[in-house]
Each structure stands twice: as structure tokens, then as C-alpha cells.
Structure 1
Amino acid sequence: MSEPISDTFAQQLQHMRTELIAQIRAQRGGKVGRAQAALDPHEIQSGDWSQVDGERDLAQALDERETAALRAIDDALQRIAAGTYGLCVDCGADIPAARLHANPTALRCVPCQTRYEHDHPAVTPSL
């Protein structure tokens, strides 16, 4: 991938990273994670443990999803730095620019991603 195109994707990824971090901070109030906030003593005193457990589970799932998204962005930025960005990790072919614009963290070309999802059905797709 040419350097000007890589720079464009690097800027897009940096913007995504900044927005995601701002979103995480806003949701956490800058102090505690959602899982910790779900353990509000007032909520627990009300005796509705199932609601508290559900909120904590949801908060943990969201935290894991955001962490995975941030990791994917950082990994893509590392691939740009290494000069391997835009190459399918499975077959080595170029990932089309349109796919990268739609999903700048894509690891695979569409045929390899389709095979990967077929072979790993429990894995969340990264199309």
C-alpha cells in the first residue's frame, strides 16, 4: 500500500481511536468502569439482585467489546508502521481499499474472512 494511502488510513484509525477513548471516558464518568458502577450500593439494597447482575454482565460485555475494538485499532496502526497494512493475514493478497474504508481494522480479504467465519462460527465477525 502506498504511503499517502496508508497515511489516510492512519488518520482515520487515529480519529476512531480518539472517539472510542472519549466514548469510554464519557460512559465511565472518568472514574469507574461500568461494571463497578453497576454495583451501586443503593441498587443492591433494593434487593433486585437479578437486575444488578444483568447490568453488571452487560457492562462487562460492553467493556470487553470496547477493549477489543481499541486493540483492533492499535493493531491496525502497528501494521501501518510495519508496512503490512492492507494485506490479508491469511493469503497475503491486497485487501481492497473500499473494504478498508468500510472497516479500517480488517485483517482479511472478503473470501478469507468468509472462510474464517465459517470455520470459527463463535467468533464475532470483523467485516
Structure 2
Amino acid sequence: MSTPISDTYRHQLQAMRTEVLAQLRAQRGGKIGRAEAAANARETESDDWAQADAERDLAFALEERESAELIAIDAALQRVADGSYGLCVDCGTSIATARLHANPVALRCVACQDKIEQASRSAPTPGY
């Protein structure tokens, strides 16, 4: 991938990273630490334990998703830095520009991603 094009994606990825970090900070209560945010949340919770548990579970799920997104962004930035950005990790072909615009952290071309998704759909569900 040429330098001007990879610079475009690097800027896009850095903007995404900044946004995800801001979301994580907001979920944790701004500039305070995770422990302080949890203590504050516990102090302000109502007597409705079911609602409080549901809200806490949602907050954990959102944080987990955003943490995974941050890891994917950092990995994509590393691929930009080492020159492998835009190449499918499975087959080595170029990932379509439209795919990278839609999903800048994409690891695979559409064909390889389809294979992965089909395999996961046909795999038996554990415990069933």
C-alpha cells in the first residue's frame, strides 16, 4: 500500500482510537479510576438490585467490546507501521479499499472472512 494511502488509514485509525478511549473514560467516570467509578456507582445505585445488576452487566459488556475494539485498532496501526496493512492475514491478497473504508481494522479479504464465518456457523455449539 502506498504511503499516502496508508497515511489516510493511519489517521482514520488514530481518530477511531481517540474516540474509543474517550468512550472508555466516560464509562469509567471521566478522569477517575475504575475502582473509584465502581464505588461511586455503588453509592448512587437505587434499591432495585435487578436494574442495578443489569446496568452493571451492560457497562461491563460495553467496556469489553470497546477494549477489544481498541486492541484491533492498535493491531491495525501496527500493520500500517510494518507495511502489512491492507493485506489479508490468511491469503496475503490485498483487501478491497471499500472494505477497509467500511472496516479499517479488517484482517481478511471478503472471501477469507466468508470462510471464517461459514466455519463458525457450522461448528457445533458447546453444551448443546
Percent of residue pairs bearing the same amino acid type: 63
> Any unmatched runs of 5+ in structure 1?
122-127
**Moved >2 Å (runs of 4+):** 26-29, 35-39, 41-44
SS at 1:60 equivalent: helix
- What's 1:125 paired with? none
Aligned residues of 1:38 and 1:59 also touching (Cα < 8 A): no
Residue type of the partner of 1:73?
A: I
What is the TM-score of this pair, normalised by structure 1? Answer: 0.83
CA distance in 1, matches of 2:58, 2:23: 16
* TM-aligned CA distance change 1:3 to 1:59, over 3 Å: same
SS at 2:107 equivalent: coil
What is the TM-score of this pair, normalised by structure 2? Answer: 0.82
Q: Deviations over 1:17-43 (max 9, x none)?
A: 11121222233322244x826852342
- What's 1:23 paired with? 23
- What's 1:111 paired with? 111
Supply the RMSD in Å over aligned alpha carbons: 2.1
* Offset, 1:62: 0.4
Which residues in structure 2 correspond to 1:92-107 (within 5 Å)?
92-107=92-107
